[in-house]
């Protein structure tokens, strides 16, 4: 069976080290990251994730997040290009993602353009929800991109 190719948004990195979330969510996030490191999944992040982490106001937390990213055995750090920018704009113009949350549209576009299988996120406001999945599938199908899934970590790992 082919390994699933997962794009991790910044919420995954943040939840792995967060102290202010339910312990179960933190443990599920850590399990996902362990499964990536064991080679069960191919993991990807992007320059968008790195920028979001770099904008963390607390320097000690920021350093811990960067160290955590370095501990992940990722396949690649994806870069934004004109095609990804244009697709993100399409998601915004179609009102799938609000204009003020452009990074969320970029996460979806990075996953789609790079032919990854799943965008994994704890962001239930704009990403992990039925409406977003359906509308992204519509745009991706119309424009010839692979259909992706957008899931919470517990939907990806086994034995939650």
Domain boundaries, the chain: 5-155
Structure tokens at 135: 């509308």
3-state helix, strand, coil in the chain (%, to 5): 55, 10, 35
Write the CB contacts of 74 (distance below 8 Å, at least 6 apart in sequence). Answer: 36, 43, 44, 45
pLDDT tens-digit readout, 27-82: 999 999 999 999 999 999 999 999 999 999 999 999 999 999 999 999 999 999 99
Q: Other CB atoms closer than 10 Å to residue 144's CB: what's the count?
A: 6
| pLDDT given for residue 159 in this prediction | 64
**5-155 fold:** Rossmann fold (3.40.50)
**Would you tell me the crossing angle of helices 102-113 and 47-54 to the nearest 10 degrees?**
150
Measured CA to CA, the distance from residue 155 to residue 34 in angstroms comes to: 15
* H or E stretch covering 133: helix 130-143
Contact 23, 60 (CB under 8 A): no
pTM of the predicted model over 0.75: yes
């Amino acid at each position: 069976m082919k390994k699933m190719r997962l794009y991790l948004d910044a919420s995954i990195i943040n939840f792995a080290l967060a102290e202010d979330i339910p312990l179960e969510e933190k443990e599920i996030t850590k399990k996902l990251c362990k499964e990536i490191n064991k080679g069960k999944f191919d993991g990807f992040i992007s320059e968008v994730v790195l920028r979001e982490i770099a904008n963390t106001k607390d320097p000690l937390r920021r350093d811990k997040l960067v160290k955590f990213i370095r501990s992940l055995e990722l396949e690649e750090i994806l870069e934004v290009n004109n095609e990804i920018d244009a697709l993100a704009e399409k998601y915004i113009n179609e009102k799938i993602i609000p204009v003020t949350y452009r990074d969320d549209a970029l996460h979806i576009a990075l996953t789609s353009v790079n032919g990854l299988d799943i965008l994994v996120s704890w962001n239930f406001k704009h990403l992990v929800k039925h409406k977003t999945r359906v509308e992204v599938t519509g745009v991706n199908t119309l424009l010839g991109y692979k259909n992706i899934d957008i899931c919470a970590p517990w939907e990806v790992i086994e034995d939650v």
